[in-house]
Amino acid sequence: MVNMRLMFLGTSAATPTPERGLSSIALVRGYELLLFDVGEGMQRNFIKSGFGMNRKMKIFITHMHADHCIGVLGLLQTMSLQRRQTTLDIYGQPKLAEFIKENIRIINFGLTFDVNIHIINAEGVVVKENDYQVICCNANHSIPAYSYCLVEFDRPGIFNIEEAKRLGIPEGRLYYKLQHGEDIVYNGKTIKSSQITGPRRAGRKVGISGDTRPTDKLQSFFKDCDLLVFESTFSHDKHQKAVESFHSTATEAATLAKASNTKKLLLTHFSARYDETCQLINEALAIYGNAEAAEDLKVVDIPYR
């Protein structure tokens, strides 16, 4: 089992407020840290979180608006000042590579670690690991933008160790095969995996919208998320402004979450006009009962189903 939790490092839209920094979300899965967007000033909350600068990490940028990507420069420089050695992988659109490389050249700071910049040119799988993958989908924003999902692969079923011992199977390689769905032959007798191991157990799915209007494609993309973080820049009375600026309202975020069978909705990316998010969360709750408003440094655990 791998523990997973999400922390908001910045929840404001376009401009920071005294209480909210610019967009950044940290998804901690085991020892690995996955950052979605790196808004200016996110380092303070990053440091408060105690994540550390030298851990295994991936960064995913949703789009090239300043409030979502400028902070990556300062983060890279701080990591170097902290003598990071671990390779860092960054994923985003073609302009991201140009942005990072040119600014490093102009500002003239060196890196103590390797940075691999992975260009995303199409929807689909962005990165695939042994037990999860990150996939992307086109968002509907004023410039090219992506939404992301982290999708864990199904886990092996529960292993009945008492039955394995009763059958005399030695621990080790044969246990592994049975738990991962392989039938074995032991002492001339075929033992089926289904005799020892229960049905496979579903992994978790976490969705990150970035900046976007709601779309049917995103509704399908976020289907059955255990946790969906969706932008809620405006309240419903500002719907026309949301349309014009290619953002979403709390009502629209909740409608999409309900239609996609999301288990839990977190609203974020609030316009600085809202000192309080009561109006936004009340609008969402009127449509979808399991919704909360994000706050900087808010932590949300993501349990297995």
Q: Are 98 and 69 in contact (CB under 8 A)?
A: no
pLDDT band (50, 70, 90) for residue 185? confident
Say what the pLDDT of residue 186 is: 85
Is 67 an annotated catalytic residue?
yes
Please give the pLDDT value at position 167: 86
pLDDT over 90, % of the chain: 83
Chain segment 245-290, per-residue pLDDT in tens: 999 999 999 999 999 999 999 999 999 999 999 999 999 999 999 9
Question: Which DSSP symbol is given to 264?
Answer: -
Query: How does 36-59 read in b/e, with b if 16+ C-beta sit within 10 Å?
Result: bbbbbbbbebbeeeebebeeebbb
Torsion of CA 44, 49, 53, 58, to 10 degrees: -100
DSSP string for 133-156: EEEEEE--SSS-BEEEEEEEPPBP
Rg (CA), the chain: 22
| CB contact set of 292 (below 8 Å; sequence gap of 6+) | 264, 265, 266, 267, 281, 300
Q: Which of 67, 211, 226, 296 is catalytic?
A: 67
In the chain the domains, ranked by start, together with CATH numbers, are 4-151+203-301 (3.60.15.10), 161-196 (no CATH)
* Residue 159 clears pLDDT 90, i.e. is over it: no
Mean pLDDT for the chain overall: 95
- Tell me what the mean pLDDT of segment 18-29 comes to: 97
Residue 161: strand, helix, or coil: helix
pLDDT tens for 110-153 read 899 999 999 999 999 999 999 999 999 999 999 999 999 999 99
β-pairing verdict for 115-119 and 299-301: unpaired
